[in-house]
């Protein structure tokens, strides 16, 4: 089982706090189109807009301009998925892992009504500040958040819809969202799935979060035309655990195979591509602790009466509390490993192209 983090986190009150933070806020100032700033997109990929609320940092813009490899990183996992102070460390470690792999990291979020592609350390610190009440932004929320001059962290869905528009082809996260266990009553299925079916982005994840109905999620990915390939495995990973009990049709032997498969897929399909990268089995949560934490998390979400975008943050926060931080340590290790693999695959894609 993984080591608990060395620094103390306030796991107790955390789930209620993140639930409140995940809620969208209504517009107090009202939306005024006239106030939107006029700026040209800096990316060569986007040419048909005159008004842009997308700001790409110089390093990322330069890399995209030169056709170099860039990896998008999301911010919902940092703001709503992990407790402070581990969250900022994880963000930093993910960026470092992408760089070590030879790619340029672009952490994406919304600050003061502008999409920032490549948040600086100071911008990220400001986004996670609880006083900012950064909202959880899926793809559909972005336009409203910008027009409302809001702040927000982007989910996988939000991040890949931005990434594909600025020409970033690879993204890393911890566990993809998917079909929730109570789907028959709630209809709750993450927009991560539909976003993956609409954006040609390769996402590296340790499967889908184990709080979900994994079998149903795999079926939806099939229906949506999103390929799922295991990295050096033919078993679908189980997020906190190296395997979920579901097998995969496709397995990738290395980064070059992943790059080649993605480029071939891109030529024939408009959907994204999921690379499933399991946590190291030595670091996984034990089945017994995992299952007890899961029951407690599902019960906590029921007791709090949360729904919609609050559900996932509350379940993850209760996992953290119940396991006294062990789930956070596993989550941290797997997302950093995914950022590293995304960096290597992105570098391999750039190689395939030359
Ligand atoms: N992976 C993690 N922790 C997280 C997430 C992913 O290890 O918190 C986030 C991602 O941003 C993902 C979101 O898109 O959870 C899914 O939320 P929902 O189930 O509400 O779609
Ligand atoms: Mn949902």
Residue minimizing CA distance to atom 7 of ligand 1? 174
74 is catalytic: yes
- Can you tell me which atom of ligand 1 is nearest the CA of 180? 19
Q: Provide the CATH topology of domain 169-354.
A: Indigoidine synthase fold (3.40.1790)
The residue assigned the tokens 């939806």 is 220
Report yes or no: 169 and 179 within 8 Å, Cβ to Cβ. Answer: no
**Ligand number with the minimum distance to the CA of 19:** 1
Q: How far is the CA of 77 from the centre of ligand 1 (A)?
A: 6
Mean pLDDT of the chain: 90
pLDDT for res 16: 62
Q: How far is the CA of 167 from the centre of ligand 1 (A)?
A: 22
Contacts of 143 (CB under 8 A, 6+ apart): none
How far, in Å, are 68, 74, 101 from residue 259 at the CA level?
14, 21, 14
For 116-136, how does the pLDDT look when each residue is reduced to its tens digit (9 = 90+)?
Answer: 999 999 999 999 999 999 999
Q: How many residues does the chain have?
A: 354
For 178-212, how does the pLDDT look when each residue is reduced to its tens digit (9 = 90+)?
Answer: 999 999 999 999 999 999 999 999 999 999 999 99
pLDDT for res 323: 98
Parse the chain into domains and list their residue ranges.
169-354
Which candidate in 55, 136, 209, 243 is catalytic?
209
Report yes or no: 111 and 123 within 8 Å, Cβ to Cβ. Answer: yes
**Longest CA span, the chain:** 56
Residues 348 and 333: their CA atoms lie apart, in Å, by: 23
Phi and psi, residue 203, nearest 5°: -110, 125
Q: How far is the CA of 286 from the centre of ligand 2 (A)?
A: 26
CA-based nearest residue to 145, from 104, 113, 105 = 113
For 21-47, how does the pLDDT look when each residue is reduced to its tens digit (9 = 90+)?
Answer: 666 554 444 444 444 443 334 444 444
**Ligand number with the minimum distance to the CA of 157:** 1
Q: How far is the CA of 183 from the centre of ligand 2 (A)?
A: 10
SS3 56: strand
Looking at the chain, the whole-number percentage of residues with pLDDT higher than 90 is: 84
Count the neighbouring beta carbons within 10 Å of the beta carbon of residue 291: 12
pLDDT level of residue 145 (50, 70, 90 thresholds):
very high
Report CA Rg, the chain: 19
Residues 261 and 252: their CA atoms lie apart, in Å, by: 9
Residue to mutate (ligand 1; options 2, 81, 179; most atoms within 8 A of CB): 81
pLDDT level of residue 354 (50, 70, 90 thresholds):
confident
pLDDT for res 242: 97
For 154-164, how does the pLDDT look when each residue is reduced to its tens digit (9 = 90+)?
Answer: 999 999 999 99
CA-based nearest residue to 146, from 44, 45, 49, 20 = 49
For 318-352, how does the pLDDT look when each residue is reduced to its tens digit (9 = 90+)?
Answer: 999 999 999 999 999 999 999 999 999 999 999 99
- Can you tell me which atom of ligand 1 is nearest the CA of 311? 20
What is the mean predicted confidence (pLDDT) over 253-260?
98
- Can you tell me which atom of ligand 1 is nearest the CA of 158? 14
- pTM score > 0.75 for this model? yes
pLDDT for res 334: 98
pLDDT for res 113: 95
For 207-239, how does the pLDDT look when each residue is reduced to its tens digit (9 = 90+)?
Answer: 999 999 999 999 999 999 999 999 999 999 999
Classify strands 104-111 and 152-154 as parallel, antiparallel or unpaired.
Answer: antiparallel
Residues 29 and 54: their CA atoms lie apart, in Å, by: 21
Report yes or no: 167 and 44 within 8 Å, Cβ to Cβ. Answer: yes
Q: Which residues pair with 235 in a beta bridge?
A: 247
CA-based nearest residue to 15, from 313, 351, 278 = 313
Residues 86 and 244: their CA atoms lie apart, in Å, by: 26
Q: Which residues line ligand 1 (CB under 6 A)?
A: 74, 76-77, 80-81, 155-157, 173-175, 177, 190-192, 309, 312, 316, 331, 335
pLDDT for res 353: 84
pLDDT level of residue 288 (50, 70, 90 thresholds):
very high
């Amino acid at each position: 089982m993984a080591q608990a983090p060395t620094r103390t986190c306030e796991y107790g009150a955390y789930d209620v706090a993140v639930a409140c933070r995940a809620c969208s806020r209504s517009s107090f100032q009202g939306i005024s189109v006239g106030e939107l700033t006029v700026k040209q997109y800096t990316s060569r990929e986007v040419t048909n807009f005159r008004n842009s609320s997308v700001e790409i940092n110089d390093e990322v813009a330069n890399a995209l301009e030169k056709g170099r490899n860039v990896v998008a990183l999301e911010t919902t996992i940092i703001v709503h998925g992990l407790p402070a102070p581990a969250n900022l460390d994880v963000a930093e470690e993910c960026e470092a892992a992408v760089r070590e792999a030879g790619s340029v990291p672009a952490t994406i979020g919304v600050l003061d009504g502008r999409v920032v592609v490549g948040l600086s350390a100071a911008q990220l610190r400001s986004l996670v500040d609880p006083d900012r009440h950064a909202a959880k932004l899926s793809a559909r929320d972005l336009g409203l958040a910008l027009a409302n001059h809001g702040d927000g962290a982007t989910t996988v869905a939000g991040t890949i819809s931005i990434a594909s528009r600025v020409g970033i082809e690879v993204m890393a996260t911890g566990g993809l969202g998917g079909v929730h266990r109570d789907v028959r009553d709630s209809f709750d299925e993450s927009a991560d799935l539909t976003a993956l079916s609409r954006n040609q982005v390769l996402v590296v994840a340790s499967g889908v979060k184990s709080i979900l109905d994994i079998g149903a999620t795999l079926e939806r990915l099939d229906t949506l035309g999103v390929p799922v390939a295991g990295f050096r495995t033919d078993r679908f990973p189980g997020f906190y655990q190296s395997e979920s009990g579901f097998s995969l049709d496709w397995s990738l032997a290395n980064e070059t195979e992943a790059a080649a498969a993605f480029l071939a897929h891109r030529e024939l399909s408009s959907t994204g591509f999921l690379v499933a990268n399991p946590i190291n089995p030595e670091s996984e949560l034990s089945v017994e602790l995992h299952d007890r934490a899961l029951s407690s998390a599902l019960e906590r979400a029921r007791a709090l009466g949360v729904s919609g975008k609050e559900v996932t943050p509350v379940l993850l926060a209760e996992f953290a509390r119940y396991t006294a931080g062990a789930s956070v340590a596993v989550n941290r290790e797997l997302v950093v490993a995914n950022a590293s693999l995304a960096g290597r695959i992105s570098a391999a894609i750039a190689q395939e192209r030359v």
